[in-house]
Each structure stands twice: as C-alpha cells, then as structure tokens.
Structure 1
Amino acid sequence: MKIITANVNGIRSAHNKGFFEWLSTEDADIICLQEIKADIDSIPKELINYNNYICEFYPAQKKGYSGVAILARTKPDNIITGLANQEIDDEGRYLEFQYGQLSVISLYMPSGSSGEDKQQKKFRFMDYYLPILKKQHLDRDYIITGDWNIAHNEIDLKNWKGNLKNSGFLPEERAWMTELLKSGYTDSWRHLYPDAPGYTWWSNRGQAYTKDVGWRIDYQIITDRLKDKLKSAQIYKDQKFSDHAPLIMEYDL
C-alpha cells in the first residue's frame, strides 16, 4: 500500500503548479491532503472525482483556510469527519477513512507561529487529541498522516538552536510528541531512517528551500503493530508544489 501525504498550501495553487499531474504518475493507493484552503464549490471540478479515486473533502467553515482531504483507490467501510470538537471541526482538521481494522487519517494540526492566541489554540488541540490517541490504538491500527506542525528532535530541523523558543519546537510541543510516541505509536520516517533529517517544510524567507534549511513537521505516525509493515519512505523534492514536500510511504498491507 502506497500512501502520500502533502500539505498543498491551497489545492487550487498546487493544481496550477502540476501537483495532480505528478500524482497521476505515482499510482498511490491513498492520498492525504492538508491545508486545501477551498470549499467544495471552489475545488476544480476535475479534482472532485480525480482519476477515479474516492474523494472526500473536509473544508473549514472559513473560506480559503485550512481543510483536509483524502483520495483513495478503494472505497472505505466508513468515513469519519472531525473529532467532535467544534473549535477543531470548524477548521476542517481531521478526516478518517476506515478499512476493516485499519484507519488512515489526514490531520492538520494548528500552527502557533502567528501569535499567542494561535499557540493557545494549538495547545487546546493537543490537550484534546492526546487522550483520544492513547485510547484509540487499543482496538484498531492507525496511519495518521499529515502536518503536525511539530519538529520533534534536534535532527528534525536545521536551525534548532535558533528555534528553541519558537512555535513548532517548544519544549511543551516536543514533550507532547514524545508522550505520544511512548503510548503505542511509531514515527515511521524516523523508524526507517534514524539519521536522515527528512525535512518537509521550508520557510519562504532567506532562500531556505535552496539552502535546505528545513523542518520535518509532516509525518506518517503509525500504531506500533504496523512498524514491521513499513517498506520504504521518500520525500519528493524534484518539483515544488507548496512550501511543504510530499511524504511518500509504502507498507506491506
């Protein structure tokens, strides 16, 4: 099973930059998108039933903001939208496809980089979601893909010393990720490649992309039972569709 996750920073923008032409060459089983920034009426019609995938879009209430999507070759047994939390769900941050005992999720955690109020919203999301994470894996297997907006360890961002007090690398955020990974989950990229930085996001300032001054904030977090099913992982940088790069993983499922 091949799963691609990508924060597209606007589905229309990524479409115009050739993202979906590239996807058509990848033959992925499941594609998870974040930050689609479009309601259903604004999504290009050719993407609503893209390449015969089952396409589910979960936009934010606010136009041009947030939102997630999943495109899948196989129809899921069940689709879950949202986390039963109005603040989170109004922003379209969680979409789940269920296949038997496996769930595949497109997740877009809030960023706290634009102000203290945004950081507090991010903390509320984390406080609400962690107890759910700790319980849900007892009964099902999960592949939680998406933009978590947290670089876990020093290896996960180039300029870690300069970001110790910045959102995305705060001690509280990193401790939260550590607690998550101790509670029955595996960071699939780091499991396969313990020494490869694996950056997936670059600032638009200071030639960060060209100089590879990046952050690894896009993940496929999986239940521990699935880690032996991991086959390969890749970050696609040959073309730039967004300020994030697609993360491609293959599983023996």
Structure 2
Amino acid sequence: MPPKRKAAAAKLLKRKTKKSQKEQEEPDTTEKPKKPTKKTVIPKEISDQEPKARGRQKVNKEEISDEEPKSKGRKKVNKDEKEEKVGRSNSTVTQWNKINFSCTKKNSKGEKSNLKISCWNVGGIKSWVKKGCQEYLKYEDPDIFCLQETKCSEEKLPEEIKDLNGYHQYWCASKREGYAGVGLLTKIEPLNVSYGINTPDQDEDGRCITAEFDDYYIVCAYVPNAGRKLVTLPKRLEWNTAFKDYIKSLDDKKPVIICGDMNVAHNEIDLARPANNTKNAGFTKEEREGMTDFLEDGYIDTFRKLYPDKTDVYTFWTYMANARSKNIGWRLDYFVISERLMDNVCDNIVRTEVLGSDHCPLTLFINI
C-alpha cells in the first residue's frame, strides 16, 4: 500500500477508534444518570407517596391523640382555673400587707376602741389551717376571736391551733365529726364559759359558746341552716325560739354581744339577688321574720345600724359560678348587741379582702 494511502487509512482508523471510544464512553455517562433516574426518581416518588400517606395517617392519629389529652387538659385547666379563681377569692392568697386592720373611728361618746372582737365561719378548721389562714390572727390581732363551722372535735384540732400562744381556747363540737362546731379564743380569761343554749336537740350539734366577762357576755353562734328544699326549716324555727329565750336570760344580767353565722339575709339589701331567693334557705319569709322578731326584743344589728344604706357588702359567697369574684353574695354573718351597748360601738368592718373560706371574717371595734 502506498505510503499516502496507508497514512490516510491509519488516520481514518484513528478517528473510528476515537468515535468508538466516545460512543462507548457516552452511553456510560448518559445511561448511568438515566438508570438512577428510572430506578430512584420514579420509584422514589411512588415510595415517598406511600410513606407520606402513612406518615400523614400517623400524624393525624397523633394529632387526634394529642388533641384528646389537650382537650382533657383544657377541661382540667378550666376546672382548676375556676377553683383557682375561687382560691383567689376564698382560699389562700390574702394580701395581708395590703389590708388596714386598724380603726380610727370613735363611738358616739367620742371614745376610741379598747376591745376588738372578730368572728369567722372558717368552713372547716383543718382546711382553713392548711391554707395558712391562721395568719389572720397575726394581722388582725383580735382580743377575742370566734369561729363557726369548725367541723372538728377538740381532740383532732390541728397542732397549729393547739400551739397558739396568748389565747385561752374553748371549743364546742358536734357529736358528728366533720359537722358544725364553734370555737372561742380570747386573750382575756373569762369568768365563766358555757356551751349550748339549754336545748338538747340543738346542743348536740355544737352551735354555741358563751363566755362571761366582767361587763358583758360574748356569744359565738352558728345558727342552723334551713337546708336544701327547706328540709330543716322546722329545726331552724325551733332554734329561733330557744335562742331568743336563752339570750334574754343573759341580757337580763349583763349586755350581750352576739357574733357569728346567723344564716339569714335579713333584708333585700343583704343579698345580691333577693328576687331569685325568696324560697331558698336564708331568705325565706319565716327566717327573715324570725330575725326581725329577735332584734325587736332589744338587740341591734351593728353593721346595718352604722351603714343603713350601704349596698354590695356581703359575708358569704357560694363556691359555684365564681360568685365571689362577681360579688354575688349574702350577708349572713353579724355582730348583734344589746341596745344599751350601741353607743359604745366604734365600727363594724367586714373583711371582704380576707380569703380562706366561703365566708369572710368581720370585726367589731368597741369601747367597754
């Protein structure tokens, strides 16, 4: 083969070889991405969809299961919030330092108070102590403190009460543990202390303590409630008669200071919704007339005497429907005194800011 032709043939062979190499290389580089595309992209889309579908189902199930506890949680929180609102109003969060426990008023004789008497329906002394409400004694510092609805026998009193310094203690418990009961704490030792109102059927509930001092009697009373559907109204009316006779027997000797839960809103001004409660315990015609009859026997409701037109002042609020925060209440707790002591009274203050029970305490400032 001539040299020129041989060179041309070699050149052509070289081109074919390069082309062949290129063709061999190109499919390798093009197919490799395609194969993964077919194998990974397309199947991946299918396989991704299934897990996503499963994943969404799982997420939905988880969301449902999450919502159920959250829903339960919200219900619990709402219930707790309601209880906490009650707590803020009736339980453990009294802002002691923000309350002025002093009295600057003088009586009609121009005299300052020299005797401070407080009373409080504590709604169970054990729970009252657990809430730290015995702090009240530190801040109010009454000379005499009367408690109602202690619901505790003397043997089972909390140690915090037994260990109180500076007070002589007297307790009158119901025969039924956890029911009724009254107590009287006094810095001044009484001449004599008696229990009940000389009526066995009433006295078994532990509703009255009387302490005799030089110039007066203190009577701590927890008057029976007429009950739901007025089932105990007859017993309440029997109490009214016996209590009136008992107080009269004391008043014939010395003037009387009666304090406690009288379980009646005497007039329409003494409760937030009188029209709705005319057939309910505490505002029936019989109970109101009983209070009127008692006062007409020679006694004075000190708060209403001092503040005849003052509205929206209550001492009891039900735990239901945030009644206390809305101030939908009843004035059931009183200081009632013999008429001849009224000129000695400086003030009667209802401590609505003091929390810890469905009742609040009240304090009488008097000069004797």
TM-score range, shorter chain: over 0.9
- Percent identity, aligned pairs only, is 35
CA distance in 1, matches of 2:203, 2:281: 22
Instruction: Identify the residue that residue 213 of structure 1 maps to in structure 2.
Output: 328
Q: Which residue of 1 aligns with 2:32?
A: none
1:115, distance to aligned residue in structure 2 (A): 4.1
Q: Which residue of 1 aligns with 2:314?
A: 199
1:211-242 Cα offsets, whole Å, 9 max, x none, are 00110010010000110111112111223110
Q: Is the 8 A contact 2:151 2:173 kept in 1?
A: yes
1:226 aligns with 2:335: no
Kept in 2: contact 1:157–1:213 (CA 8 A): yes
- 1:131-210 paired onto structure 2 within 5 Å: 131-197=245-311, 198-210=313-325
SS at 2:340's partner residue? helix
Query: Residue in 1 aligned with 2:244?
Result: 130
Distance in 1, matches of 2:341 and 2:138, equals 27
User: Which of 229, 241, 250 is the equivalent residue of 2:356?
Assistant: 241
Larger strand proportion, structure 1 or 2?
Answer: 1
TM-score by length of 1: 0.96
Quick one: which of 190, 193, 207 aligns to 1:93? 207
- What's the secondary structure of 1:18's corresponding residue? coil
Question: Counterparts in 2 of 1:69-108, with a 5 A limit?
Answer: 69-108=183-222
In structure 1, how many angstroms separate the alpha carbons of the residues matched to 2:130 and 2:137?
13
Contact 1:134 1:180 in 2 (8 A): no
**Post-superposition shift, 1:85?**
1.2
Give TM-score scaled by structure 2 length: 0.67
CA contact (8 A) 1:232 1:251 kept: yes
How large is the Cα RMSD of the aligned pairs? 1.3
Work out the CA distance in 1 between the residues paired with 2:196 and 2:338.
20
Partners of 1:134 and 1:183 lie apart in 2 by 8
User: Structure 2: any 5+ residue segments left out of the alignment?
Assistant: 1-114
Amino acid in structure 2 at the alignment position of 1:57:
W
Amino acid at match of 2:128: A
Question: 2:133 — aligned with what?
Answer: 19
How far did residue 202 of structure 1 move? 0.5
Give distance in 1, aligned partners of 2:274 and 2:351. Answer: 23
Letter in 1 for 2:213: Y
* Per-residue CA distance 1:71-130 (angstroms, 9 max, x = gap): 000100000111121111110001011002300011000111224432222112112222
Distance of 1:185 and 1:49 partners within structure 2: 36
Check if 1:29 corresponds to 2:143. Answer: yes
Rg comparison, structure with higher value = 2
Distance 2:298 2:147 in 1: 24
Decide which structure has greater helix share: 2
Letter in 1 for 2:330: W
Greater mean alpha carbon deviation, residues 13-22 or residues 86-95: 13-22
Structure 1 residue runs without a partner (length 5+): none
Task: Give the Cα–Cα distance (whole angstroms) in 1 for the partners of residues 339 and 300 of structure 2.
Answer: 5
CA distance in structure 2 between the aligned counterparts of 1:147 and 1:185, rounded to whole angstroms: 16
1:49 CA drift (Å): 4.4
8 Å contact 2:196–2:203 — kept in the other structure?
Answer: yes
